[in-house]
Amino acid sequence: MRELEPNPTKILDFIKARRKELGFSCRDFGLFLKMKPSEWNRMENGRMPFPKEHAFEKRLVKALCINTEEYPAFHAAYMDYEPIAREPLTEEEVVQKLPMVFRKQDGSAMSEPELLKLGERLRHELS
């Protein structure tokens, strides 16, 4: 198994690698930790801080099979970790991501004309 590097920002790489080594999907791991999978995903991807409560850290340590030799380095990195603040998306970046957000019932992406039509409909309904 991979060792946790002393750099606190490496804890995300360590957690993700260990989760995968143990055969958990991100979704299943979130459920195993008794939380919403989407919440766990945001934590594991550095968009949300880890809870600092001892009970959560204890569940995480158990789920990741952290042994007594690994625990001091894990605990220090866990307590020191803070997600990197990210700037809000620009309007242009939001528009570029819309096809990922708006999908048809069959799951396929909407075309640009379909997105424009949806935008017009939303503007009309919200005005």
Per-residue pLDDT tens listing for the chain (127 residues): 455 555 556 899 999 999 999 999 999 999 999 999 999 999 998 888 899 899 999 999 999 999 999 999 999 999 888 887 778 878 888 777 777 777 777 878 788 888 888 888 888 888 7
- Measuring CA to CA, how many Å separate 24 from each of 35, 51, 56, 71, 108? 15, 21, 18, 20, 27
Q: Are 18 and 65 in contact (CB under 8 A)?
A: yes
Prediction pTM value:
0.64
Around 22, how many Cα atoms within 13 Å sit in the side-chain half-sphere? 19
Give the pLDDT confidence score for residue 1 in this predicted structure: 45
Query: Which domains can be identified in the chain, with CATH numbers?
Result: 8-80 (1.10.260.40), 91-126 (no CATH)
Q: Tokens 């995300």 sit at which residue?
A: 12
Give the pLDDT confidence score for residue 116 in this predicted structure: 84
Give the pLDDT confidence score for residue 8 in this predicted structure: 53
